Amino acid sequence: MLTQFVPSSGIVIAMLIACFVMVLAFEATNGFHDASNAVATVIYTHSLKPVPAVIWSGILNFVGVLVGGIAVAYAMVEILPPDVLTPPNGAPAVPMLVSIFAVALFWNILTWAFGIPNSSSHCIIGALIGVAAADALLKSRSLASGVDWRQIKTVLEGLAISPVLGFVLAGGLYHLLRKVVGTGRMFEPPEDGQPPVWWLRALLILTCTSVSFSHGTNDGQKSIGLIMLTIIGLLPGTYALNPAAVDQLANLDRYATAAIPLIRRYGDDVAPQALKAATALRNAKSELDAQAHQLLMKNAAPRSATATRAQLRGYVYDVVSQMKHVGENEKTPPADRKLAGDLRKQMSLPVEYAPLWVRVLSALCLGAGTMIGYQRVVRTLGERLGKRHMTPGQGASAELVGSLLIGSAGFTGLPVSTTHIVTSGIAGTMVAGGQGVQKAMLVRIASTWLVTLPVTMLLSGSLFYLLDHPGR
């Protein structure tokens, strides 16, 4: 359906604008869920009023997004096959964007409405996997070779292990606090409207600060790659290539020449397409130099160059995908695996980036979403998770452990769920404190965690199939 329209037609532009709005709305719902975990303890314990807490959390989220880079953003994007990221004719991948954003946004809002701390990471990853699987089926490729299961496995391992670590480490820290400190306000539920003593209040604000910053370094990146795909579809002449990677762009012909023998020897079932892309890059020295000059001089791309930039981006993704396959292939000799890794790194720089305004926009949407929708998640974590209300010591333990896990994952490029880590951490402190957890709420949360991936995969894959080939 959507693929039958001319790339620059009004309907495609309108759909891309709708996608842009949806991805911003998704980032706001990420604030409903994930960023609310950062402010839950300071608000629930009356250490900070809601508005100052949310503003402070938003500032730290913003700093985290700026400092954390874009490794997580493109770890998510790399789940998609290269031809979906940038179709061969340079047309915007509207069916892919609509499918991902609509499904992730729907599931985030649905779980928020019921006050369940759902993972935005699971939503977006499930939607990405669904699109990748549907694309493989549409192209008559096997799911084994058509979907990058190694990348998916890496992403899912982080999502699966981090909540267990959160539960164990937060529970252990809270148990240690009880042994060392004994009794006191730290281990008593907050009184109505009364803030804790100054030192305990300072501790809770500090842990809120650390979780907010860590959240920005990880979750704050997750929509950045998808925002980039959308604006590249809208304005390929401006955003298809990275203006800060002029040297790598000018040398793409040399990198492509080195990649061709590797693709021929170790490529997978789409190696012929990658060979065509590498050959095109090898023979495009003059065009690459012209594009690099325009980017260096900060000149706007002429209309004739708009399609060229999108096409160059598509060529690069095709070759980079094969370099990733070669580097991960156990049959590839170590020297060739190293060469493939180096080529992948250098060739990715011209196409994997995010302007400052995109990061700022992502952080602003996170903060706005937190301010609008924090109440439901804060109440769930504070009152409905354990059999007794959360104490300041439990909140501080869960958030301190959470900030360390989330922050370390953000700088290594591994997506994790703030919701899963903080929620499991609070549950761990409830168990360590002898209060126990409310089984009904824990079952609801666990059930949502379990069904999120398959539901979002099925919905996004089906929607992508309908939008891409409605007549089949």
Domain end residue (candidates: 348, 383, 411):
348
Highest mean pLDDT among 342-346, 389-393, 416-420, 423-427: 342-346
317 plus 379 within the same structural domain: no
For residue range 333-383, what is the model confidence (pLDDT) as tens digits? 999 999 999 999 999 999 888 888 888 888 788 777 766 766 655 555 555
Determine, yes or no, domain membership for 210: yes
**Residue range 209-230: average pLDDT?**
79
221 plus 174 within the same structural domain: yes
Count other Cβ atoms within 10 Å, centred on residue 223: 27
pLDDT of amino acid 381: 58
Q: Which residues of 362-398 are buried (b: 16+ CB within 10 A; e: fewer)?
A: bbbbbbbbbbebbebbbebbbebbbeebbbbbbbbbb
212 plus 247 within the same structural domain: no
Domain end residue (candidates: 303, 329, 348):
348
The answer on pLDDT for 470 being more than 60 is no
Q: Which residues are paired to 386 by β-bridges? A: 437
Residue of higher predicted confidence among 8 and 186: 186
The answer on pLDDT for 305 being more than 80 is no
Residue of higher predicted confidence among 148 and 397: 397
343 plus 380 within the same structural domain: no
Residues 6 or more apart whose CB falls under 8 angstroms from that of 70 comprise 221, 224, 225, 352, 353, 354
Find the Cα–Cα–Cα–Cα dihedral 113, 116, 121, 126, rounded to 10°: -80
85 plus 12 within the same structural domain: yes
Highest mean pLDDT among 94-98, 242-246, 277-281, 309-313: 277-281
The percent of residues in the chain predicted with pLDDT above 90, rounded, is 13
Q: How far apart are CA 78 and CA 173, in angstroms?
A: 36
Give, rounded to a whole angstrom, the gap between the first and last alpha carbons of the chain: 11
pLDDT of amino acid 306: 56
Residue with tokens 């939008």: 467
Determine, yes or no, domain membership for 365: no
146 plus 7 within the same structural domain: yes
Is residue 445 within 8 A of residue 116, CB to CB? The reply is yes
pLDDT of amino acid 323: 93
Is residue 381 within 8 A of residue 208, CB to CB? The reply is no
Residue of higher predicted confidence among 278 and 24: 278
Find the Cα–Cα–Cα–Cα dihedral 242, 244, 248, 250, rounded to 10°: 80
pLDDT of amino acid 27: 80
Is residue 289 within 8 A of residue 218, CB to CB? The reply is no
The answer on pLDDT for 1 being more than 60 is no
Is residue 457 within 8 A of residue 128, CB to CB? The reply is no
Which candidate, 444, 82, 6, places its Cα nearest to that of 276? 82
- Copy the structure tokens of residue 171: 């529970």
Q: Which of 141-145, 201-205, 468-472 has the lowest mean pLDDT?
A: 468-472
Q: How far apart are CA 363 and CA 357, in angstroms?
A: 10
Determine, yes or no, domain membership for 111: yes
204 plus 290 within the same structural domain: no
pLDDT of amino acid 264: 93
Half-sphere exposure of 263 (CA within 13 A, CB side): 25
167 plus 290 within the same structural domain: no
Report if pTM > 0.85: no
Residue of higher predicted confidence among 193 and 258: 258
Which candidate, 162, 72, 163, 30, places its Cα nearest to that of 411? 72
Domain end residue (candidates: 333, 348, 363):
348
Which candidate, 225, 236, 223, 222, places its Cα nearest to that of 12? 236
Band (42; pLDDT cuts 50, 70, 90): confident
- Copy the structure tokens of residue 237: 């002449």
Give the chain's mean pLDDT.
79
To the nearest 10 degrees (0 to 180), the angle between helices 198-218 and 418-432 is 140
Query: CA geometry: angle at 232 spanning 230 and 234, to 5°?
Result: 75
For residue range 314-328, what is the model confidence (pLDDT) as tens digits? 889 899 989 988 998
Is residue 189 within 8 A of residue 391, CB to CB? The reply is yes
pLDDT of amino acid 5: 47
Determine, yes or no, domain membership for 207: yes
For residue range 252-267, what is the model confidence (pLDDT) as tens digits? 999 999 999 999 999 8
Residue of higher predicted confidence among 84 and 79: 79
Determine, yes or no, domain membership for 262: yes
323 plus 440 within the same structural domain: no
**Residue range 71-88: average pLDDT?**
72
Q: Which of 112-121, 208-217, 238-247, 345-354 has the lowest mean pLDDT?
A: 112-121
The answer on pLDDT for 299 being more than 70 is no
**Residue range 450-466: average pLDDT?**
89
**Residue range 170-188: average pLDDT?**
80
Q: Is the dihedral of CA 160, 460, 320, 64 positive or negative?
A: negative
Enclosing domain of residue 297? 241-348
Q: Which of 65-69, 203-207, 244-248 has the lowest mean pLDDT?
A: 65-69
Determine, yes or no, domain membership for 236: no
pLDDT of amino acid 218: 74
Residue of higher predicted confidence among 307 and 221: 221
45 plus 156 within the same structural domain: yes
Determine, yes or no, domain membership for 147: yes
337 plus 379 within the same structural domain: no
pLDDT of amino acid 2: 47
pLDDT of amino acid 231: 84
Determine, yes or no, domain membership for 366: no
Q: Which residues of 119-140 are buried (b: 16+ CB within 10 A; e: fewer)?
A: bbbbbbbbbbbbbbbbbbebee
Q: How far apart are CA 285 and CA 408, in angstroms?
A: 40
Q: How far apart are CA 429 and CA 175, in angstroms?
A: 8
Q: Which residues are paired to 163 by β-bridges? A: none
94: burial class by Cβ within 10 Å (0-12, 13-18, 19+)? Answer: buried
Band (203; pLDDT cuts 50, 70, 90): confident
389 plus 431 within the same structural domain: yes
Domain total of the chain: 2
